[in-house]
Amino acid sequence: MTGSEILVRCLEELEVDTVFGYPGGAVIPLYDVLVESEKIRHVMVRHEQAAAHGADGYARVTGKTGVCIATSGPGATNLVTGIATAYMDSIPMVAITGQVPVSMLGKDSFQEVDITGITLPITKHNYLVKDVKNLTKTIREAFYIASSGRPGPVLIDLPKDVLTDQCRYTFPKVKELPGYKPTYQGHPTQMKGAAEVMASAKRPIIYAGGGVIHSQAHRELLALAELLSIPVTTTLMGMGAFPGDHPLSLGMLGMHGTPTANFAIGEADLVIALGVRFDDRVTGKCEAFANKAKIIHVDIDPAEIGKNVGVDIPIVGDVKNVLNTFLVQLSKQQQREWLEQIRNWKEQYPMEYKKDGQLRPQMVVQKICEATNGEAIITTEVGQHQMWAAQFYKFSQPRSFVSSGGLGTMGFGLPATVGAQVGCPDRTVFNISGDGSFQMNAQELMTAVANKLPIKIAILNNQYLGMVRQWQEMFCDRRYACTDVSDQPDFVKLAEAYGAVGMRIDKEDEVEEALQKAMQIDDRPVVMDFRVEKEENVLPMIPAGKTVEDIILS
């Protein structure tokens, strides 16, 4: 078989059903074979960056490894932002790039670029395959590495002659790799010590992140929280790991998290950190973060434990396995005084916004939540709208919130929405977007139209690069340097030009009707241009590097 035939056969053996890509000269042999596959659907994007984001969105909602394909040179470099996005958020992905023939490597050949060198810092591992005999082993290893331990992207660079050369096909199984042995079970002594501390805590709090979702540990998290009466706060990546409408839910933590979550972490005597990395958007000033508490940190990646914040009990292991052990070791408890304090904070500092008849972005998000019964997959771009989505949509299940957290990639949301809808065709998928972010990958409307994807796009259009403008208002004396984007296209006409449905909503009383109409359209995308208040701010806010004492509430 040729290398191209081997690659497609391997993908089929690995039960890959969808790949996102864009053809080019170096991968013509691969596409010549891929088009004949009856098991793999190829989603043709309109920009290679969207192929990576599409594979990313697909992986986040399905739990499978996303796959994207690009040609050599600029095709490969266009994947870089999407690969980095997946790397920062620990998303399993295999990126396949074409390359010039082996004999032309290192000669500045047409469309040659050292993509393995470029992506070395933003992949779990990458490969340059120079011999077709190594191809099957490389593919199998790549998928194993991408999906095991702490997930992440892996890149395979394939010279054109490797795709056309032939060898005998075999499909070896990968049982283990030298030097790569993730730890899945927590250390018994550490586990016992953690259980004892948890049993004696008076003001405990669970701080849950994306690792809970990757581990499929949401049921165990709910069981532990209810067993010990422990309130739960989540990171942006952990949204949906714990039901947002549960009495023990505190909402999101950090810079734009709820006051209750931030006050609780400051007063807690125990923080149980599950699958988190204590990033700066959560901790603020690290020295002051949870400084009254002992910290138990559970993570499958030992490099994350103690990296940003010192911990008292480190546990390296898979969150699901660790929580199951805790559920056996611990017995039911009540935290009446602590939960009463939590209730008081919730009543005193509710998440609210001005209700004066003007079209407020927070209200739009709430209406989307009502229209979808809180059961939609919500994707976002990056900015104010992203925070409002996290604050005002009540997520009830995992793998329902798709957003670029670590890298903060504008332009992520629309192609990720395409990937999410392809991965979950029976779910309603809403992209909550900003007018700035939307224009970065607006061409992917064509991908959605071509594939008849009924995605819903809600642009919270304030005619600014909203989050940057907010910082300029607060910290630069309202000098709005280069953040006014009122010179924008007509989004309704743009949608119609691509073959989608376009709507413009200017008033509060038009929102529900527009959403109902959008929900009834099932054969094409719908773009809703919500003309919201221009200078609305995301609150509360803890300024970067500050503490909960510096929180801005209004």
| Residue linked to tokens 């490099």 | 303
User: 44 an active-site residue?
Assistant: no
Instruction: Please tell me the distance from the alpha carbon of residue 175 to that of residue 198, in angstroms, as a whole number.
Output: 36
Q: End-to-end alpha-carbon separation of the chain, Å?
A: 66
With CA atoms as reference, report the closest residue to 303 among 444, 149, 117, 513.
149
User: 108's torsion region: left (phi>0), alpha (psi -120 to 50) or beta?
Assistant: left
Q: Show the beta-strand stretches assigned E in 409-533.
A: 429-434, 456-461, 501-505, 526-531
User: 160 an active-site residue?
Assistant: yes
What tokens were used for 114?
Answer: 């050292």
| Residue linked to tokens 């005999």 | 133
Say if residues 212 and 275 touch (Cβ distance below 8 Å). Answer: yes
User: 493 an active-site residue?
Assistant: no
Of the residues 5, 20, 48, 412, only one is catalytic, namely 48
Of the residues 13, 111, 443, 546, only one is catalytic, namely 111
Of the residues 110, 192, 496, 517, only one is catalytic, namely 110
User: 467 an active-site residue?
Assistant: yes
Q: Which amino acid is residue 151, in one-letter code?
A: P
Q: Secondary structure of the chain: what % helix, strand, coil (to 5)?
A: 40, 15, 40
User: 48 an active-site residue?
Assistant: yes
Say if residues 80 and 119 touch (Cβ distance below 8 Å). Answer: yes
Of the residues 93, 124, 143, 160, only one is catalytic, namely 160
User: Regarding beta strands 429-434 and 93-99, do their DSSP bridges make them parallel or antiparallel, or are they unpaired?
Assistant: unpaired
Instruction: Please tell me the distance from the alpha carbon of residue 316 to that of residue 305, in angstroms, as a whole number.
Output: 8
The single-letter DSSP state of residue 510 is: G
Of the residues 467, 503, 528, 541, only one is catalytic, namely 467
* Catalytic residue list: 48, 110-111, 160, 467
